[in-house]
A and B are shown apart, each in its own frame.
Chain A
Amino acid sequence: MEYKIKIAEVFSISPGSRHPDEGDYSGQEFREKILIPMFRKCLNAKQFLTIDLDGTLGYGTSFLEEVFGGLAREFTVDEVLNHIKIISNEEDYLIDDIKEYIKDAKG
């Protein structure tokens, strides 16, 4: 079974900021409602989770940090790096940014 999340389809084409009180479609909301449940399934199944970033209007640094840095804080940096695959054909440089957020994640 392939585990895949396309943010523009399952969440929003206009991702917002970090926390829900800063506006709609926050990183925290995405992480808690969509990403973590799916990531747990992937870990249990020992599979990769593919996250497709294409198709949105654009991401803010706070959204990405909250989603991926937050995921690394919830689990571990190694678990996240070893079980997540990111697709970003529109902005390939985001992949490096996200890896940095994951590596820099602090509890």
Chain B
Amino acid sequence: MLKDRKTLKDWALRILIGIIIFGAGFYSKCLIDQHTIIKFSDTINWEANPLELLSLIVTILLAIYVTRTLGKRNESEKVETELLINYILGFKKDLLERFDSISTERNIEQVKLNSDCKIIRKRLHSIISLAVENGYVDRNDNLVNSLKDEVTNIWETLTDTPPLIDGSASKEVTDGIATLRADKISKVENIIIEIEKIVFNLILKINKG
């Protein structure tokens, strides 16, 4: 009962607002008629030109198509692109975390390096597959090939290094390994800088579509 009364009150309010808006519109029309050169017709023309009607229907359908279908598709593509870029940025972060610390580590554990390289290479190949499958880059794209080559360079540089284990070698050998190690670390650091540049360009390319 109380609900019915509330609904009735709502309707009354709406009708009142409608009357006020109509009144305001009518008053505005009179004002415009009196004070400007614009004149409103007092009759409504109900004749319809079939061509205009068709044009109106097409416009309405186009509006629906653009807002619903194309809008959704654009949104979906945008989300897909963002996901892929986040995946690439995640790869770069992972790469930096795994290999940035090697210059400060006293001993390089071969097994850990092998494992890190396996994960990084696998992750990169997985990202590239996704990007290729979804049509963002070509399988033989220069940036893609450069990225693969640079990551393979890290793997080759690091996993060909003999482990440096305290007390296992004479001073001469240790000095030699230390120099070799420093060279390789420097090389890896340079490769990482190159990878950062390639990743930046790849993201730009993906964003441009």
Contacts and interface: CB of A to CB of B under 8 A. Distances in A.
Given A61-B155, A61-B156, A17 B163 contact: yes
A57 B115 CA distance: 5
B114 A15 contact: yes
Interface in B2-49: none
Nearest to B163: A23
B125 to A, nearest CB: 6
B162 A59 contact: no
B163 A60 contact: no
Given A16-B110, A16-B111, A93-B125, A58 B163 contact: no
Given A16-B110, A23-B110, A58 B115 contact: yes
B111 to A, nearest CB: 4
B122 A61 contact: no
Interface string A34-73: 0000000000000000000000011111110000000000
B163 A59 contact: no
B122 A90 contact: yes
A14 interface: yes
A93 B122 CA distance: 9
The B interface, classified by DSSP as helix, strand, loop or mixed, is: helix
Interface string B124-159: 010000000000000000000000000010011001
Contacts of A90: 118, 122
A59 B118 contact: yes
B166 to A, nearest CB: 13
B115 A60 contact: no
B92 interface: no
A78 interface: no
B140 to A, nearest CB: 15
The A interface, classified by DSSP as helix, strand, loop or mixed, is: loop
Interface residues on A, range: 10 to 19
B185 interface: no
A2 interface: no
Contact of B121 (A23, A60, A93): A93
Given A22-B162, A59-B118, A93-B125, A14 B156 contact: no
B113 interface: yes
Contact of A17 (B116, B122, B155, B162): B162
A90 B121 CA distance: 11
26 contacts: A14-B111, A14-B114, A17-B163, A18-B160, A18-B162, A22-B110, A22-B162, A23-B110, A23-B165, A57-B111, A57-B118, A58-B111, A58-B115, A59-B114, A60-B159, A60-B160, A61-B155, A61-B159, A61-B160, A62-B159, A63-B114, A63-B159, A90-B122, A92-B125, A93-B121, A97-B152
